[in-house]
Each structure stands twice: as structure tokens, then as C-alpha cells.
Structure 1
Amino acid sequence: MLSTSEGQFAQPAIPRFDGHYDHWSMLMENFLRSKEYWSLVETGYDEPQANAAMTEAQQKRLDEMKLKDLKVKNYLFQAIDRTILETILQKNTSKQIWDSMKKKYEGNARVKRSILQALRRDFETVEMKSSECITDYFSRVMSVSNKMRFHGEQMLEVTIVEKILRFLTDNFNYIVCSIEESKDTDTLTIDELQSSLIVHEQKFHQKPVEEQALKVTTDERIGAGGRGRNSYRGRGRGRGRQAFNRAIVECYRCHQLGHFQYDCPTWNKEANYAELEEHEDVLLMAYVEEHEAMRNDVWFLDSGCSNHMCGDARMFSELNESFRQQVKLGNNSRITVKGRGNVRLQLNGFNYVLTAVFYVPELKNNLLSIRQLQEKD
């Protein structure tokens, strides 16, 4: 931040001791080095004996050292809380204050070894969590690594790189193999590794375009001897997926041309659309894979569905729950229709009403019958 004088910067804040000695000592050392006072803390200065003869230059040099030491002490007094300073007996020089803080909070060699052992254990056991991102994982590993370095452990960069690669989640297995094959881990830096893994992580999070398509499955019996949408007996036999002429389709009820049995005008409209004889299986609706998530707000267009179908009773504006039917799926299973009514939809600000919609509680997805929409038109 610039001060009122152009080109001058505000003085850096003195790091306050918050109980975390490792972090505070690093910040304070850097602060004192920037002021060119660190030598007073590290080595101190020699106080001459009483009544010792000193030249004028020596006396001037001693006065300068004392003045600098007073400045360092002032910084330390501002950084350390009063309750902590009261526990320090020797406060004559900045070196005495610094050494006392170091003994209190860093500990002696035995304590340091104990701390280092605990950090080594943490370093070996830390691994990436399934819900954790690369940045957070690297942050945890580097936090332990830096503490180990502070306590005297020789932490080579290749050691940290190999540790990170070993404990990534299974999603990164092929990436780890690719990195180990294409790059030399002895020369690979931590920053390069993190950058590479973040790029791959972003690819994981790219959502594929949702394809709202249904997989229509037909029973083998339909293709062999029954009548499906694309297979017929008599006229129009064995057309497969080729286009067909509806005019040549023969109804198995009235034996007239131009419509299927379930479209027959002589058929009782109140009869069950789905309940035909066993030897004439009809695909009435597309088979929705069970692993697809249920979406009450999504409607799928289905060219093989005989009626509109909805699985959520709350979407009906009118519902006759006394209506009962059986609907046969493409996988040869049956589900029960437990009502029929009207559903009101709102699309782009306009209200639409679907009539004669079957209420099927077991249905995982709402279906729009293309045939029923065409009949309405």
C-alpha cells in the first residue's frame, strides 16, 4: 500500500506470536533480516568488561550495536504478549529474549526428536480423501513436509512427489501411470505435478451433455412370431427397421387394413389397452433402464407408448383413481395403472393440458405418447 509520499511503501506489520512458534519464528526471522538486524538475534554482540579501555571507534561501534539491539527488542516486545514476556527472566538483549522463546516453544533436542517422529508418522499416513480436491490434498502434504523441514528433517522434493503419487485416489491411477512413464520423477517438481493433476481433475468435473433418450428394447418373441412396431405377420413381414406403409397393415380383430388391433374402431375403448392375448405381445412403452435417476419434472417422448403415463399423483389436476389397467413393458414385465386423469404442464410461459394420462406409481420416468399426441391433433 502506498503512503502519501510517492514511491514510499507502508512499513510491514510486525508478526504477532499466536502460539504457533514454527510459523511465527519464520515470519519474525524474515522481518528482522529485512531490517538487517538478524545478526544481533543470531550471534548477539560482545559487551566489554567494566572499566575496560576502549578507543573512540570501538565505543562508537558499541553504541551503534546497542541502539540496533534496542530496536530489535522493541520489535520483540510488540510481537510477544505481556503474559509471555513476564515468564522470560533475561531480557537484557534481543538474543536472550529470542533464545528463551526458542527453548520454551521449540523444545530441546529430545522434544524435537519426539515431534519429528510424530510428523514422520503423519507424513506416511496422510492420503487423499475421496471428496478432496487436489489443491487441498497438496496443502495438507506440504504443511506436514514444511514442519518436518523446520525440525531438521531433510525433505527432498522427489520424496514428496513420490508420496503424493502413491496416495492419490483411484480416479488418478491411469494418470499416475502416465506420469511415471512419461516423466522422470527425480526431476519433476511439486509445482509441475500439482499443475498437471489439477488439469486432469478439471476434466473429471466436466459434466457430459445430458441425453434424454430412451432405449427401446423388444422381446425376442415379438420379432419371431408376435407383432411389434417393426415386425408383422402376413403382409409387411420382416421389415426390420425399414419404413413401412401403414395402409398395408392388417388388423387382427376386424381384419381390415390401415390400423393395428389396438387402434381398431371396433375395440371397446374402455377395455384394457395393454391386456391382449399372450400370443400377441405388443410393445406399449419404452423400457427405461433402472439405473436412470427418477425425474418427476422431465417428460420423455416415446413413439412406442400407447398412452401418456406419469408416476407422480401430485402432477394431476384431475385424477380418477378407480381406473385400473395392466401395462406390459418391452422387457415382458407388467405394471399396474392406478388411475387416469389430466396433467397441466407449463412450458415457456404457456399452459398445456394433457388428457387421458395414465397414473402409474411404479413408473420411473414420465412418458409422452407420440401416437396419442398425433391423435389429438
Structure 2
Amino acid sequence: MTSESSFVQPAIPRFNGHYDHWSMLMENFLRSKEYWNLVETGITAGSGGAESSDLQKKALEEQKLKDLKAKNYLFQAIDCAILETILKKETAKDIWDSLKQKYQGTARVKRAQLQALRKEFEVLHMKAGEIVNDYFGRTLVIANKMRLHGERMEDMVIIEKILRSMTSKYDYVVCSIEESNDLDALSIDELQSSLLVHEQRVSRQVVDEQALQVTY
């Protein structure tokens, strides 16, 4: 019989400087351990004073133990340089709030970053000689950054952007895709696959033409 302890435990997300991405992963990790509520709201049991009931005291001790475990996960997620700046923080909530204040940035900075990403996405076009996979990679990197900054970036928006910004040698296949598919139901992976097939077909034609020229 397979025991519960034999399952692979999820790795603790390491903070690499990208706060928004890390905080999303870390929150999910702490939720899976059932510690997130404590990190979010702090210790909420009674003060544990002389007038507290035994039940209140027990609840407080349980929360303190959970808080220590949550702090341990947070300590393991950050490197020594950052750890030294938060050693005096007493609870997991204190640590989380401190990291958020230090690394998330102000709302004004985030708005400016999102505006710059929107502009970059707007002017994005496929470069001459660029292959399909590379262009999809560049586009998705920008789109995912926009999402991390709070933009509601639907797949449909990305699909439409790619279709209208391909180089002219893809005009035929782009028209074919738009005429034969419901773009609302088309996935990014399906679009990429269709364009890759066209790219490979064009490449084979070029090779065949070059071979014929050499023959004659």
C-alpha cells in the first residue's frame, strides 16, 4: 500500500527577484499547507492572558506553532541577504507584509510598467527571417508580463495580434486560418501548429527550387 509520506512533496518556491510571480507560487504553496489564512490575517486567537479560557489558550498555542512552521517555509524561500533584513519580524504575516512592501513596488510604478508593456505589445511585429517559434516566444513573454502586472490578457487578443503582425509570406495561410476557423475557439497552440506546418512547407519548396536550379 502506498503511504501518504511516499508522495513527492512540492518544492518551496525560491524568491528570485520577480516578486509577483514568486508571491503567486508561494501563496499557492502556503494554501496547500493550510497556512495561508494565518499568513494573510495573522494570529487571531485570544491574548492568552489570565482570564482566557483553556480553550482560547490552546487555540493560541496552535496558531503560534503554525506560525512558526509558516515562518520556516518563508525563511527557506529567501536567500541570506534578504533574510538579514527581516530577522526582527515576529510573525509570518510580518515577514510577508515586509517582503510585499519592499519588492512589489508602488501602484504608480506598476502602472508605468504595464503602460510600457502595452506599447511594446502594440508595436510588436514579426521580423524578416524570424521563425514562427521565436516570434511566438517573443509575443508570449510580453503577454505574460502584462498578465503579471494585472492586465486581463485573453488568448483571443494574442491570436489576433499574431495573425495581423506576421510577415507577408504568411498572408495566404493567415487568410486561410481566418476563413476556416472560429477564432474564438482557436487556441494559441493550434495557431502555432498551423503556422509551423506552413513554415515547413515553404522551407521544403525553397530547398526543392534550389535543387532544381543546381540540376539545370
The verdict on a shared fold, with TM-score over 0.5 as the criterion, is yes
- How many angstroms apart in 2 are the aligned matches of 1:48 and 1:24? 32
2:127 aligned partner: 129
Match of 1:158 among 142, 156, 159: 156
Preserved contact between residue 45 and residue 59 of structure 2 (Cα < 8 Å): no
Equivalences for residues 43-58 of structure 1 within 5 A: 43-49=41-47, 51=49, 53-58=51-56
1:70 aligned partner: 68
Q: Deviations over 1:189-235 (max 9, x none)?
A: 22221222222222233232723433xxxxxxxxxxxxxxxxxxxxx
Shift of 1:162: 0.8
Match of 1:60 among 33, 38, 58: 58
1:14 aligned partner: 12
Shift of 1:133: 2.4
Query: Which structure has greater strand proportion?
Result: 1
1:37 aligned partner: 35
Does structure 1 residue 213 correspond to structure 2 residue 211?
Answer: no
Shift of 1:107: 1.0
| RMSD of Structure 2 on Structure 1 (CA) | 2.6
Match of 1:199 among 179, 197, 205: 197
Equivalences for residues 336-355 of structure 1 within 5 A: none
Shift of 1:74: 0.7
Equivalences for residues 233-252 of structure 1 within 5 A: none
Structure 1 residue matching 2:208: 3-state secondary structure: coil
1:286 aligned partner: none
1:114 aligned partner: 112
2:23 aligned partner: 25
Q: Which residue identity does 2:192 align to in structure 1?
A: Q
Shift of 1:19: 1.6
- How many angstroms apart in 2 are the aligned matches of 1:145 and 1:52? 56
- How many angstroms apart in 1 are the aligned matches of 2:130 and 2:58? 60
Structure 2 residue matching 1:113: 3-state secondary structure: helix
Indicate the structure (1 or 2) with the bigger Cα radius of gyration. 1
- How many angstroms apart in 2 are the aligned matches of 1:108 and 1:148? 16
Q: Which residue identity does 1:191 align to in structure 2?
A: D
Describe the shift of the 1:54–1:197 C-alpha distance in structure 2 as closer, same or farther (beyond 3 A): farther
Describe the shift of the 1:191–1:16 C-alpha distance in structure 2 as closer, same or farther (beyond 3 A): same
Describe the shift of the 1:191–1:33 C-alpha distance in structure 2 as closer, same or farther (beyond 3 A): farther
Q: Please report the TM-score for the alignment, with normalisation by the length of structure 1.
A: 0.51
Preserved contact between residue 46 and residue 56 of structure 2 (Cα < 8 Å): no
Preserved contact between residue 155 and residue 187 of structure 2 (Cα < 8 Å): yes
1:234 aligned partner: none
Report the identity percentage.
61
Structure 1 residue matching 2:118: 3-state secondary structure: helix
Q: Deviations over 1:158-216 (max 9, x none)?
A: 111111112112221111111111122233222221222222222233232723433xx
- How many angstroms apart in 1 are the aligned matches of 2:169 and 2:88? 57
Structure 1 residue matching 2:52: 3-state secondary structure: coil
Shift of 1:88: 3.3
- How many angstroms apart in 2 are the aligned matches of 1:111 and 1:188? 35
Structure 2 residue matching 1:177: 3-state secondary structure: helix
Preserved contact between residue 90 and residue 97 of structure 1 (Cα < 8 Å): no
Structure 1 residue matching 2:34: 3-state secondary structure: coil
Describe the shift of the 1:52–1:172 C-alpha distance in structure 2 as closer, same or farther (beyond 3 A): farther
